[in-house]
Amino acid sequence: MGKIKTTGAKALLECLRREGVDTIFGYPGGAVIPLYDELFHCEFIKHILVRHEQGAGHMAEGFAHATGKVGVCLATSGPGATNLVTPIADAMMDSIPMVAITGQVRTEVIGKDAFQEADITGITMPITKHNWLVKDVNDLPRVVHEAFHIARSGRPGPVLVDVPVDVSRAIIEYDPDEAQKVKIKSFKSDFKVHPMQVKRAAELIAEAKKPVLYVGGGAKASGAHDEILTLAERVGIPVTTTLHGLGTFPEDHALSLGMLGMHGTAYANHAVHNCDLLIAVGARFDDRVTGKVSAFAANAKIIHIDIDPGEINKVKRADVSIVGDCRAAVTELLGLVQPRTDLAAWQAETGVWKTDFPLEAPNGDEDGQMHSEHVIREIARLTDRKTVVTTDVGQHQMWAAQHFGMRSPRQFITSGGAGTMGFGLPAAIGAQIGLPDAQVWCISGDGSIQMCSQELMTARVYGLPIKIAILNNQFLGMVRQWQEMFWQKHYSHVNLEQAPDFVKLAEAYDCVGLRCEKVEDIESTVARALEITDRPVVIDFRVAKETNVYPMIPSGQTIHDMVTTKPVKMEQETANAFPVSPSVVAEGMVLDAEAENADQRLPRAGEVVDVAR
């Protein structure tokens, strides 16, 4: 193409075009006016004007979650940039590819406390894969292309490019083709799968009597879902997924164990505890999965497949480690793994746990109340589970993960590692813009929705038909649950009865607001929401107030300490014969393993539980 002469701002937009960017989420300000002036004339990029920079970051995340592409957000200097910190940290924790572009004060006044100055590169250094402060316009094209390369390569993640206003306005003469040739000597991301490690892994799989596939978000990021399905079916391996792995393996499959961990299914947790081989694919052994690390899959050999060498042996030591792209690694495994028909006994054992410990969703028959679990199952049924689901963080998030029944990858979009309230609505907007033909539902709580509710205006301006289901229990539910279970019901500042009328709030933004207060009205309310296709719909589901998410393994504990809602009284000899006694306590019991009062002490493995105490 040869050299062209242009401004830094225009060169930046040309770099975005060459990286395939067609959508950015942003909010203008003084330090980014040169960029916004070029956007005024730009025909190849759609700019989504948000109502808060945090919303821009979460929209970029939702876009990336849904499409697999790099999400891009844009903010001005100072508070505009610092408002992106939460979504950047969120993207870092969840390995989401995102490029954040921020404006900065003039280079000559950097470090002198200029108006709206913030050291955003210093602030975000711990929460980005890399970041740049571009002081020379001649570096700008190279840096932008490097940013996209790093964001999407290896283990994905966020990067930040900070552009001073005078750099955006400066004149540059450069060759776009040359600038696009990224050469970073110090950055290695293309780890090749080692054939000897694959061979050793195949041997362990052939020997295992009780194998389990443990599938995480890395498998989703690499697009390894078909290969994992083939491996599971060929060998007959039960499959459990993390929160971010949901949908990578279809949950209606006979080999599916659903999600594992703190609020995972009891049968997934029992299977992992009793397995003799755990095959971790794109998973990082998060503390919400493992609980007490020394007791997690304590008797199992471990195969760990991950693109990030830093994750290998970080939490659990692997017997076989395979560093590389998950899809490539599982593909190599498939070339060596032979079909097996001798795992029927193991499949039957996991089947017994499924029967004994099903996920329960009260439908109101016993108490006349509307329960969140039932609402979620009804939304899933009425949409035939063919919808993208975003969530905020809290009880509703766990209920959605447990009860929706994901069928496909990138169907479930949530904030995992950071646990960011306010994520759900803007993420739904990003997902809907990335997948305009998809149906998108945001499942939120009455606490979370108030974090970024202003983005209803963004959704309305762009005519997005997203559905927002607010499971309104008038509490900060998950904190209340912990206070009930571990803090003697000291409900300290979790009461959210003083709240907006969500129907009127929706209408104030020119959206549609609906309220559902009776179980028998769920179907008609959801059907009404599905009829509306030109604007967002907010549904205020008035659900039972003091209900808890079960199963639950208390933080840092083991499967011996798991709490479910199904009271089980096991005789001593039965408990001793069972590899792990599923300690089950009555709802509302204080879980204090050291309590002197037997009525308040957590049952230990093998102990008969009298739920009538």
Instruction: Select from 152, 179, 206 the last residue of a domain.
Output: 179
CB 257 within 8 A of CB 239: yes
Domain-embedded: residue 561: no
Residue 603's domain comprises 567-613
Do 119 and 233 have their domain in common? Answer: no
Domain-embedded: residue 507: yes
Rg (alpha carbons) of the chain, rounded to whole number? 25
Do 346 and 473 have their domain in common? Answer: no
Instruction: Look at residue 566 in the predicted model and tell me its pLDDT.
Output: 57
Domain-embedded: residue 115: yes
**Per-residue pLDDT tens for 373-386?**
999 999 999 999 99
Q: How far apart are CA 387 and CA 412, in angstroms?
A: 9
Instruction: Look at residue 532 in the predicted model and tell me its pLDDT.
Output: 98
The residues near 438 (Cβ < 8 Å, ≥ 6 apart) are 66, 387, 388, 431, 432
Identify the CATH number of the domain in which residue 155 sits: 3.40.50.970
Do 68 and 170 have their domain in common? Answer: yes
Domain-embedded: residue 189: no
Low-confidence stretches of the chain (pLDDT < 50) are 567-613
Do 571 and 512 have their domain in common? Answer: no
Instruction: Select from 179, 214, 241 the last residue of a domain.
Output: 179
Instruction: Select from 310, 325, 356 the last residue of a domain.
Output: 356
Do 10 and 125 have their domain in common? Answer: yes
The residues near 30 (Cβ < 8 Å, ≥ 6 apart) are 76, 77, 103, 116, 165
Do 291 and 438 have their domain in common? Answer: no
Closest Cα to residue 189, out of 151, 216, 161?
151
Domain-embedded: residue 366: no
Do 268 and 407 have their domain in common? Answer: no
Identify the CATH number of the domain in which residue 297 sits: 3.40.50.1220
Q: What is the DSSP letter of 519?
A: G
Q: What is the DSSP letter of 475?
A: B
The residues near 203 (Cβ < 8 Å, ≥ 6 apart) are none
Do 45 and 129 have their domain in common? Answer: yes
Closest Cα to residue 109, out of 140, 78, 132?
78
Instruction: Look at residue 567 in the predicted model and tell me its pLDDT.
Output: 46
Instruction: Look at residue 2 in the predicted model and tell me its pLDDT.
Output: 86
Instruction: Look at residue 183 in the predicted model and tell me its pLDDT.
Output: 85
Q: Is the dihedral of CA 272, 290, 334, 248 positive or negative?
A: positive
Do 385 and 520 have their domain in common? Answer: yes
Instruction: Look at residue 577 in the predicted model and tell me its pLDDT.
Output: 30
The total number of structural domains that make up the chain: 4
Domain-embedded: residue 512: yes
Domain-embedded: residue 362: no
Do 135 and 230 have their domain in common? Answer: no
Domain-embedded: residue 550: no
Instruction: Look at residue 429 in the predicted model and tell me its pLDDT.
Output: 98
Q: How far apart are CA 514 and CA 520, in angstroms?
A: 15
Do 139 and 199 have their domain in common? Answer: no
Do 146 and 243 have their domain in common? Answer: no
